[in-house]
A = this chain, B = another copy of it.
Amino acid sequence: MSRPPRTRPTLEEVAAKAGVGRGTASRVINGGEKVSERARLAVEEAIAELGYVPNAAARALVTRRTDTIALVIAESEERVFGEPFFAGIVRGIGSALAAADRQLVLLLAQASERRGALDDYLTRQHVDGVLLLSLHDDDQLPERIRAHGVPVVVGGRREGVSSDFVDVDNLQGARLAVQHLAGLGRRHIATIAGPADMVAGHSRFEGYVAALTAADLPIDDRLVARGDFTQQSGAEAMRALLASGAEVDGVFCANDLMAVGALQVLRDAGRQVPDDVAIVGFDDAPIGLSTVPPLTTVHQSPEQMGREMVAMLLEATGAPGVPQPGLMLPTHLVVRGSA
């Protein structure tokens, strides 16, 4: 528990070596306004010679900022590293943050046990703000963190919360998809829905219901199957749909991966897509381009979502305590071969 000996040069030593005061050395390091050329050179040389690197803790202590932002993904590793959705959103966040000169750190919120540690980390001024990505909506994490004055922006809407979030308009997207199927003359439109405890799951399902109602089509329980967003679960759901005995001439899948699974099952069952059964997915994932036929799908842009989250968070850091109005990102339909 005893403190390891210091080994790294300090600003004071740099200043001494350069023959200037501490203040001047500090000025050179931080943007260096109002420093004579001579002094700047001397300091820079001293820094190089000593291999000086500023101590972030000392700096953070006085500035009260760290210039780093945490992205918390509250999912199992398996899901995080499985969903291509995350790749996009992380890329969007990463590039937006880089442009704003902030460092991004990713935290995976593995299950309950580590929760205390996570709270601590986020709350102890390690980071200036938190982006939270959780597909489930049962979590008080954002509130707990905000209570300590740390701004939080959530990706994905949560029940009963109308600020500080960015989400894709899942409901509208699902409606688009189902409208399209109905517009094609399909009258027996099934859905392979996602888990009900995820926003993307239930709001896409709501969109399905809303669009059917709007098109005066009945809602048939036998036409509703559920998956967990994996390809395999999509295949199983499709098999269940076929086995239900109900007539099916269109399927709206809550994501592309499940649509791919469904496509395979239909092919194996000898049903023609789109002639016998039309299929629409959701996500506009790359894989939808390489299926046969290529997948008609609802386009969303995780990258844009990431960028918007960052913009909102930076806004919030500027005006602490002021809730930022939530943002719903529109989607559009990409019509390809499957419907």
For the complex formed, measure the closest distance between the CB of A199 and the CB atoms of chain B, giving whole angstroms. Answer: 20
* Copies of this chain per assembly: 2
Q: Which residue of B lies closest to A147 (CB)?
A: B51
The one of B61, B91, B232 in contact with A290, judged by C-beta atoms closer than 8 angstroms, is: B232
A19 within 8 Å of B by Cβ? no
Q: Which residue of B lies closest to A87 (CB)?
A: B81
Contact A106 B103 (CB under 8 A): no
Measured CA separation A57–B51 after assembly (Å): 22
Measured CA separation A2–B43 after assembly (Å): 24
Max chain B Cβ within 10 angstroms of own Cβ: one of A54, A65, A117, A148: A117
With A3-B62, A68-B121, A98-B113 known to touch, is A81 a contact of B83 (CB < 8 Å)? yes
A330 within 8 Å of B by Cβ? no
Contact A114 B98 (CB under 8 A): yes
With A3-B62, A60-B57, A80-B87 known to touch, is A108 a contact of B125 (CB < 8 Å)? no
Contact B125 A56 (CB under 8 A): yes
| A54 cross-chain contacts in B, Cβ below 8 A | 124
A residues apposed to B, CB below 8 Å:
3-4, 6-8, 51, 53-58, 60-66, 68, 70, 77-78, 80-84, 86-88, 90-91, 94-95, 98, 101, 103-108, 110, 113-114, 117-118, 120-121, 123-126, 147-149, 232, 290, 320
Q: Please, could you name 15 A-B residue pairs with CB atoms under 8 Å apart, sorted by A?
A: A3-B62, A6-B64, A53-B123, A56-B57, A68-B121, A77-B88, A77-B90, A80-B81, A81-B86, A98-B117, A103-B117, A103-B121, A105-B105, A106-B107, A106-B108
